[in-house]
Homo-oligomer: A and B are copies of this chain.
Amino acid sequence: MIDILIEKIKEKNNPTVAGLDPKLDYVPEEMKAAAFKEYGETFKGAAEAILAFNKTLIDSLYDIVPAVKPQAAYYEMYGLEGLRCMKETIDYAKSKGMYVILDGKRGDIGATSEAYAKAYLGKTELGSVIQPAFDADCLTVNPYLGTDGIKPFTDQCIANGKGIFVLVKTSNKSSGELQDLKSDGKFIYEHMADLVKNWGADLIGTYGYSSVGAVVGATYPEQAEALRERMPHTYFLVPGYGAQGGKASDVAKSFNRDGLGAIVNASRSIMCAYQKNGGSLGDAAREEAIRMRDDILDALGRK
């Protein structure tokens, strides 16, 4: 439920999420060396190094940052051990009170989306037993297949108090090839925005926002501003701040006047702050997370 995320954002006065997209290159040498020494240069060794990396980041951020966003691809590339690391990262972040947005951009025909929805937001039947598989709080979803590919996710949101963010306008350079085409006087991302609004209409919580959110990149501030007006009750997950080029004044356009309505992601700038600025992994990440928070709160104050 979006209410849980909003409460964590309010409690920490921090509308940001730390992306956990851990390439092995980002892991401090001594952390990598220790894991490889114990487990060899194997998937297990890599996964253990990344898990230590993630735990250090979570330990240094959980009291000031409301949420983490593990990016599934970076765990899947380390095979089964990588996925074990993803699961343990989700569990660890939740145990520290953080909201977990799993960035998997899943989406398929109805029956298959139902399986994805169970995997990440619901529970799986195992004979007479029912258990959650990955149990994130929220999942990113790809809308290319339309309503029947989304409904299984919203069903799980309702059943289990979870949320989704649906891709609307993504932060990458070539996002416009499809998303900026115009049809019936509306951009495709506007068509998607209208669909997302409908999908979320019955899931609006205490603060006036729906548990069906939208991904809106920081790198397209004009489009974000128009989308903000178009879908006032939709929470935005905003990637593209920092390393991808989005500035605080850009991401400010994704917020409403209530200071809510958006959560801004930064991954590399936090994970790799120690490489750029020196200091320990945890201290540098915390410092950068504070800088980012203040940068964005400042831009919101100026708005």
Please list the residues of chain A having a beta carbon within 8 angstroms of any beta carbon in chain B.
21, 23-24, 32, 36, 41-43, 45-46, 71, 73-74, 76-80, 82-84, 87, 103, 105-113, 115-116, 118-120, 124-129, 131, 133-134, 142-149, 167, 170-179, 181-184, 188, 191-192, 195, 239
Contacts and interface: CB of A to CB of B under 8 A. Distances in A.
Given A182-B183, A183-B183, A32 B124 contact: no
Given A79-B134, A82-B133, A174 B191 contact: no
Given A170-B109, A172-B146, A188-B183, A126 B73 contact: no
A87 B79 contact: yes
How many copies of the chain does the oligomer comprise?
2
A109 B175 CA distance: 9
28 contacts: A21-B112, A32-B127, A36-B127, A43-B124, A43-B133, A45-B126, A71-B108, A73-B112, A73-B115, A73-B116, A73-B119, A74-B112, A76-B116, A77-B115, A77-B119, A77-B124, A79-B134, A80-B83, A105-B106, A109-B171, A144-B170, A145-B167, A146-B172, A146-B174, A146-B177, A148-B173, A149-B172, A181-B181
A18 to B, nearest CB: 16
B78 A46 contact: no
A149 B145 CA distance: 18
Given A144-B179, A188-B178, A133 B76 contact: yes
Contacts of A167: 144-145
Contact of A133 (B71, B79, B119): B79
A113 B173 CA distance: 14
Nearest to A131: B43
